[in-house]
Copies of this chain bind each other. A is one copy, B any other.
Amino acid sequence: MSMATKSQNRVSRQTWKYNEDVRIQGSAVVVGPKEGEGPLKDLFDKAYDDMYAGQETWEKAEKKLMEDAIKLAIKKAKLKDDQIDQIIAGDLLNQNITVSFTAEKMQFPTLGMYGACSSSMLTLSTASALVNAGYSNYIVAACSSHNATAERQFRYPTEYGGQKPPHSQCTVTGAGAAIVGLGGSGPRITYSTVGKVIDLGITDPFAMGAAMAPAAVSTIATHFIDTGRSPKDYDLIVTGDLGSVGYAICKDMLAKEGYNMEGVYNDCGLMIYSPDQEVFAGASGCASSASVTYSYIMNQLQSGKMKKVLVCATGALLSPISTQQGNSIPCIAHAVAFEGGK
């Protein structure tokens, strides 16, 4: 490997370029009942009609969603389990238990990651970097969230029926998985921009969209600077789960930095549910960006309706113990640039 080749992978401290033909070989999304009634329902691979997905506990239901998504993605990639080198995955539950139990069952070598709801693009970036450099032939990047497991862990058990403020968001019940490999005809992965942790002092665990917006702005602006691209170069730029409050903040902040996002910008948290579903300010959770990216966006790129898409997955590194101790919520966002397959 020559120094010239190596320097091409590193664009900056935050941006990596993939010079090989790194592509999504197959992807799948499996969701819960509410998501299965939303506007993207026809693009999801499977929707369970109950929150337990036929399991005893919500935690086991979340594992079932992840396992289903991984199996379907491998099948759609026309691969067999033993052709998968590693799984790189994250979820919202303490100790990443969805990942651990799923990985144990499937017996893939495992790299666990944690980026809260940014895990979708964190895991996809790491998988792409390893495949591009020839460490692995095929890697599964996966993540999941479940409304009931997340609410119980981060706020209150849903059985309490606690009131939620209007700026709160609804954690998506779902899992998304993508198989990364070289060649084929799927959507290409061309750049990743790794985020910095940003903390502007928000301490309300319901106000995650507002807390995360500055992290999204930091990563998207850095991506533009590092790649020489601008909003015009993309058919679509999405953030992961800012919801309506964070979306407006993000758009305004980017405009102040000179980036006009009008007509090109959306938020996955605003795309999963329809306005008449009761979801407060929109969707959140690892599965928000994963569900939209690995269904609708892959579909748009594959069909040629879109040529370039930037997905900036946003994560509130929210910790109950830390907020109880009076600390604010550090946030991070990781972005991946896709190009239509051909």
Which A residues lie at the B interface, using CB under 8 A?
A: 1, 3, 5-10, 13-14, 16, 19-20, 57, 59, 84-86, 90, 93-97, 99-101, 103-104, 107-116, 122, 126, 129-130, 132-137, 153, 194-199, 317-322, 325, 327, 330, 332
Whether A197 lies near B104 (C-beta < 8 A) is: yes
Whether B195 lies near A94 (C-beta < 8 A) is: no
Whether A110 lies near B325 (C-beta < 8 A) is: no
A116 to B116 Cα, complex, angstroms:
16
Copies in the complex: 2
Whether A95 lies near B5 (C-beta < 8 A) is: no
**A217 → chain B closest CB, angstroms:** 15
Whether B134 lies near A6 (C-beta < 8 A) is: yes
Q: Which of B95, B317, B332 contacts A318 (CB 8 A)?
A: B95
**A159 → chain B closest CB, angstroms:** 16
Whether A199 lies near B104 (C-beta < 8 A) is: yes
* Interchain residue pairs A-B with the least CB separation, the first 7: A6-B134, A133-B133, A104-B197, A95-B319, A100-B317, A112-B114, A109-B194
A196 to B104 Cα, complex, angstroms:
7
Instruction: Please judge, given known A-B contacts A1-B20, A104-B199, A133-B133, whether A110 and B332 are in contact too, CB under 8 Å.
Output: yes
Whether B7 lies near A110 (C-beta < 8 A) is: no
Which residues of B lie under 8 Å from residue A111 when comparing CB positions? 113, 115, 122, 126, 194
A116 to B103 Cα, complex, angstroms:
15
Whether B110 lies near A113 (C-beta < 8 A) is: no
A84 to B110 Cα, complex, angstroms:
26
Q: Which of B59, B130, B319, B332 contacts A93 (CB 8 A)?
A: B319
Q: Which of B100, B103, B133, B137 contacts A129 (CB 8 A)?
A: B133
Whether B321 lies near A97 (C-beta < 8 A) is: yes
A332 to B317 Cα, complex, angstroms:
24
**A175 → chain B closest CB, angstroms:** 17
A-B contact pairs, 24 of them (CB 8 A): A1-B1, A1-B5, A1-B133, A6-B133, A7-B134, A10-B135, A10-B137, A93-B319, A94-B94, A94-B95, A94-B319, A95-B317, A95-B318, A95-B322, A97-B321, A100-B197, A100-B319, A104-B196, A104-B199, A109-B196, A110-B195, A112-B122, A113-B113, A133-B134
